[in-house]
Protein backbone atom coordinates (compact mmCIF):
# COMPACT_ATOMS: atom_id res chain seq x y z
CA UNK A 1 0.00 0.00 0.00
CA UNK A 2 2.77 2.43 0.94
CA UNK A 3 4.79 1.59 -2.17
CA UNK A 4 1.72 2.30 -4.32
CA UNK A 5 1.22 5.59 -2.46
CA UNK A 6 4.81 6.54 -3.30
CA UNK A 7 4.68 5.61 -7.00
CA UNK A 8 1.18 6.73 -7.98
CA UNK A 9 1.81 10.44 -7.30
CA UNK A 10 5.13 10.22 -9.15
CA UNK A 11 3.58 8.54 -12.19
CA UNK A 12 0.72 11.04 -12.20
CA UNK A 13 3.15 13.96 -11.96
CA UNK A 14 5.19 12.55 -14.86
CA UNK A 15 2.12 12.41 -17.11
CA UNK A 16 0.98 15.82 -15.84
CA UNK A 17 4.30 17.37 -16.95
CA UNK A 18 4.72 15.40 -20.16
CA UNK A 19 1.19 16.07 -21.41
CA UNK A 20 0.20 19.44 -19.88
CA UNK A 21 -3.42 20.36 -20.46
CA UNK A 22 -4.57 23.60 -22.06
CA UNK A 23 -7.48 25.77 -21.02
CA UNK A 24 -8.85 29.30 -21.10
CA UNK A 25 -6.50 31.96 -19.77
CA UNK A 26 -8.52 33.08 -16.75
CA UNK A 27 -7.08 34.93 -13.77
CA UNK A 28 -9.41 33.14 -11.35
CA UNK A 29 -7.97 29.79 -12.38
CA UNK A 30 -4.40 31.00 -11.92
CA UNK A 31 -5.25 32.31 -8.44
CA UNK A 32 -7.00 29.03 -7.56
CA UNK A 33 -3.90 27.09 -8.63
CA UNK A 34 -1.65 29.30 -6.51
CA UNK A 35 -3.83 28.70 -3.45
CA UNK A 36 -3.82 24.99 -4.24
CA UNK A 37 -0.01 24.84 -4.24
CA UNK A 38 0.09 26.98 -1.10
CA UNK A 39 -2.20 24.56 0.72
CA UNK A 40 -0.19 21.56 -0.48
CA UNK A 41 3.09 23.20 0.49
CA UNK A 42 1.88 24.18 3.95
CA UNK A 43 0.60 20.66 4.64
CA UNK A 44 3.81 19.09 3.37
CA UNK A 45 5.95 21.45 5.46
CA UNK A 46 3.76 20.93 8.51
CA UNK A 47 4.28 17.18 8.34
CA UNK A 48 8.05 17.70 8.30
CA UNK A 49 8.12 19.79 11.46
CA UNK A 50 9.23 18.31 14.75
CA UNK A 51 6.01 18.93 16.65
CA UNK A 52 4.04 17.06 13.98
CA UNK A 53 6.54 14.19 13.98
CA UNK A 54 6.35 13.94 17.77
CA UNK A 55 2.55 14.01 17.68
CA UNK A 56 2.36 11.23 15.08
CA UNK A 57 5.05 9.19 16.84
CA UNK A 58 3.13 9.39 20.10
CA UNK A 59 0.14 7.75 18.41
CA UNK A 60 1.60 5.26 15.95
CA UNK A 61 5.21 4.92 17.05
CA UNK A 62 8.40 6.50 15.74
CA UNK A 63 9.00 3.75 13.18
CA UNK A 64 5.70 4.46 11.42
CA UNK A 65 6.12 8.23 11.07
CA UNK A 66 7.60 8.00 7.56
CA UNK A 67 4.90 5.53 6.54
CA UNK A 68 2.20 8.02 7.55
CA UNK A 69 4.10 10.87 5.90
CA UNK A 70 4.33 8.98 2.60
CA UNK A 71 0.62 8.20 2.59
CA UNK A 72 -0.45 11.76 3.38
CA UNK A 73 2.11 13.41 1.10
CA UNK A 74 1.13 11.16 -1.80
CA UNK A 75 -2.59 11.71 -1.26
CA UNK A 76 -2.17 15.50 -1.04
CA UNK A 77 -0.07 15.59 -4.22
CA UNK A 78 -2.67 13.56 -6.10
CA UNK A 79 -5.36 15.93 -4.88
CA UNK A 80 -3.34 18.93 -6.06
CA UNK A 81 -2.87 17.44 -9.53
CA UNK A 82 -6.52 16.42 -9.74
CA UNK A 83 -7.88 19.88 -8.91
CA UNK A 84 -5.26 21.80 -10.92
CA UNK A 85 -6.86 24.02 -13.56
CA UNK A 86 -5.17 24.46 -16.94
CA UNK A 87 -4.40 28.09 -17.71
CA UNK A 88 -3.85 29.24 -21.29
CA UNK A 89 -2.29 27.52 -24.26
CA UNK A 90 1.15 26.42 -25.40
CA UNK A 91 4.16 28.72 -24.96
CA UNK A 92 6.36 26.40 -26.97
CA UNK A 93 6.28 22.80 -28.09
CA UNK A 94 9.02 20.70 -29.65
CA UNK A 95 8.49 18.36 -32.56
CA UNK A 96 10.33 15.51 -34.20
CA UNK A 97 13.66 14.34 -32.74
CA UNK A 98 13.86 17.30 -30.36
CA UNK A 99 10.52 16.24 -28.83
CA UNK A 100 11.90 12.81 -28.01
CA UNK A 101 15.20 14.21 -26.74
CA UNK A 102 13.38 16.49 -24.30
CA UNK A 103 11.01 13.69 -23.30
CA UNK A 104 14.03 11.49 -22.53
CA UNK A 105 15.51 14.30 -20.42
CA UNK A 106 12.29 14.35 -18.42
CA UNK A 107 12.50 10.59 -17.95
CA UNK A 108 16.12 10.97 -16.89
CA UNK A 109 15.23 13.63 -14.30
CA UNK A 110 12.57 11.38 -12.79
CA UNK A 111 15.04 8.51 -12.90
CA UNK A 112 17.56 10.59 -10.95
CA UNK A 113 14.97 11.27 -8.25
CA UNK A 114 14.39 7.51 -7.91
CA UNK A 115 18.13 6.75 -8.01
CA UNK A 116 18.84 9.21 -5.19
CA UNK A 117 16.00 7.66 -3.18
CA UNK A 118 17.65 4.27 -3.61
CA UNK A 119 20.94 5.69 -2.31
CA UNK A 120 19.08 6.98 0.75
CA UNK A 121 17.65 3.45 1.23
CA UNK A 122 14.48 3.41 -0.82
CA UNK A 123 12.53 1.26 1.64
CA UNK A 124 13.51 3.61 4.44
CA UNK A 125 12.45 6.71 2.49
CA UNK A 126 8.91 5.42 1.88
CA UNK A 127 8.52 4.08 5.42
CA UNK A 128 8.48 0.35 4.75
CA UNK A 129 11.73 -0.21 6.65
CA UNK A 130 10.10 1.24 9.77
CA UNK A 131 7.25 -1.27 9.51
CA UNK A 132 9.76 -4.13 9.23
CA UNK A 133 11.63 -2.85 12.28
CA UNK A 134 8.36 -2.72 14.21
CA UNK A 135 7.61 -6.32 13.26
CA UNK A 136 11.10 -7.46 14.31
CA UNK A 137 11.14 -5.40 17.50
CA UNK A 138 14.22 -3.44 16.41
CA UNK A 139 14.94 0.13 17.59
CA UNK A 140 14.59 3.12 15.23
CA UNK A 141 17.61 3.81 13.04
CA UNK A 142 19.78 6.76 14.02
CA UNK A 143 20.09 9.65 11.54
CA UNK A 144 22.93 9.28 9.06
CA UNK A 145 24.27 11.24 6.12
CA UNK A 146 24.65 9.79 2.66
CA UNK A 147 28.01 10.25 0.93
CA UNK A 148 27.23 8.16 -2.12
CA UNK A 149 26.95 9.13 -5.76
CA UNK A 150 25.38 12.57 -6.37
CA UNK A 151 25.51 13.38 -2.65
CA UNK A 152 29.26 13.79 -2.99
CA UNK A 153 28.67 16.61 -5.48
CA UNK A 154 25.72 18.56 -4.01
CA UNK A 155 23.74 18.34 -0.80
CA UNK A 156 20.25 18.02 -2.29
CA UNK A 157 20.38 16.07 -5.59
CA UNK A 158 16.79 14.85 -5.07
CA UNK A 159 15.51 18.42 -5.01
CA UNK A 160 17.78 19.44 -7.87
CA UNK A 161 16.42 16.59 -10.00
CA UNK A 162 12.87 17.39 -8.89
CA UNK A 163 13.22 20.99 -10.06
CA UNK A 164 14.66 19.73 -13.35
CA UNK A 165 11.52 17.61 -13.79
CA UNK A 166 9.45 20.78 -13.69
CA UNK A 167 11.38 22.61 -16.39
CA UNK A 168 12.52 20.01 -18.91
CA UNK A 169 10.11 18.37 -21.31
CA UNK A 170 8.89 18.78 -24.87
CA UNK A 171 5.91 21.05 -24.14
CA UNK A 172 5.51 24.16 -21.98
CA UNK A 173 2.05 25.66 -21.44
CA UNK A 174 1.17 28.70 -19.35
CA UNK A 175 -0.39 26.39 -16.77
CA UNK A 176 2.73 24.23 -16.58
CA UNK A 177 4.86 27.38 -16.28
CA UNK A 178 2.76 28.51 -13.31
CA UNK A 179 3.10 25.07 -11.72
CA UNK A 180 6.87 25.01 -12.28
CA UNK A 181 7.36 28.48 -10.80
CA UNK A 182 5.23 27.86 -7.72
CA UNK A 183 6.69 24.44 -6.91
CA UNK A 184 10.25 25.66 -7.50
CA UNK A 185 9.71 28.43 -4.95
CA UNK A 186 8.34 25.85 -2.52
CA UNK A 187 11.34 23.56 -3.04
CA UNK A 188 13.75 26.43 -2.38
CA UNK A 189 11.97 27.32 0.87
CA UNK A 190 11.61 23.67 1.86
CA UNK A 191 15.32 23.05 1.30
CA UNK A 192 16.23 25.90 3.64
CA UNK A 193 13.93 24.49 6.33
CA UNK A 194 15.29 20.97 5.88
CA UNK A 195 18.84 22.23 6.22
CA UNK A 196 17.99 23.44 9.72
CA UNK A 197 16.42 20.10 10.65
CA UNK A 198 19.38 18.09 9.38
CA UNK A 199 21.82 20.38 11.20
CA UNK A 200 19.85 19.88 14.42
CA UNK A 201 19.93 16.10 13.95
CA UNK A 202 23.57 15.66 12.89
CA UNK A 203 25.37 18.65 14.39
CA UNK A 204 28.99 19.40 13.53
CA UNK A 205 29.44 16.55 11.01
CA UNK A 206 26.82 18.22 8.84
CA UNK A 207 28.64 21.54 9.16
CA UNK A 208 31.71 19.82 7.73
CA UNK A 209 29.68 18.38 4.88
CA UNK A 210 28.01 21.72 4.21
CA UNK A 211 31.36 23.50 4.15
CA UNK A 212 32.66 21.27 1.36
CA UNK A 213 29.58 20.34 -0.68
CA UNK A 214 27.34 23.00 -2.30
CA UNK A 215 23.60 23.04 -1.75
CA UNK A 216 22.53 23.19 -5.41
CA UNK A 217 25.34 23.72 -7.95
CA UNK A 218 27.35 20.46 -8.03
CA UNK A 219 31.09 20.39 -7.41
CA UNK A 220 33.38 19.51 -10.29
CA UNK A 221 34.86 16.61 -8.35
CA UNK A 222 33.39 14.30 -5.74
CA UNK A 223 34.05 15.19 -2.12
CA UNK A 224 35.87 12.42 -0.28
CA UNK A 225 34.41 13.04 3.17
CA UNK A 226 35.76 11.35 6.31
CA UNK A 227 33.58 8.88 8.17
CA UNK A 228 33.15 10.81 11.40
CA UNK A 229 30.25 11.41 13.72
CA UNK A 230 26.96 11.12 11.83
CA UNK A 231 28.67 10.95 8.43
CA UNK A 232 28.98 7.58 6.77
CA UNK A 233 28.56 5.98 3.37
CA UNK A 234 25.02 4.96 4.19
CA UNK A 235 21.78 6.93 3.90
CA UNK A 236 20.94 10.15 5.62
CA UNK A 237 17.73 10.87 7.44
CA UNK A 238 14.84 12.79 5.90
pLDDT tens-digit profile of 76-127? 999 999 999 999 999 999 999 999 999 999 999 999 998 988 888 777 777 6
The distance from CA 50 to its chain's CA centroid, rounded to whole angstroms, is 18
- Flag whether pLDDT at 6 surpasses 70: no
The residue extents of the domains of the chain are 2-212
Q: Are 169 and 102 in contact (CB under 8 A)?
A: yes
User: What is residue 5's predicted lDDT score, i.e. its pLDDT?
Assistant: 55
Terminal CA-CA length for the chain: 20
Q: What is the pLDDT of residues 133-159, one digit of tens each?
A: 767 777 767 777 888 899 999 999 999
Amino acid sequence: MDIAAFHLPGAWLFLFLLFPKQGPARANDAIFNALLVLAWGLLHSLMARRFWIRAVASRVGEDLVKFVFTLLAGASQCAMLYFWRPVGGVIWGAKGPIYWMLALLLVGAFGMVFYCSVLLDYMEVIGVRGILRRMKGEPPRRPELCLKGPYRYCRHPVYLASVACLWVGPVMTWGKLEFALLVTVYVLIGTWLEERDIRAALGEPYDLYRAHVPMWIPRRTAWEGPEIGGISNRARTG
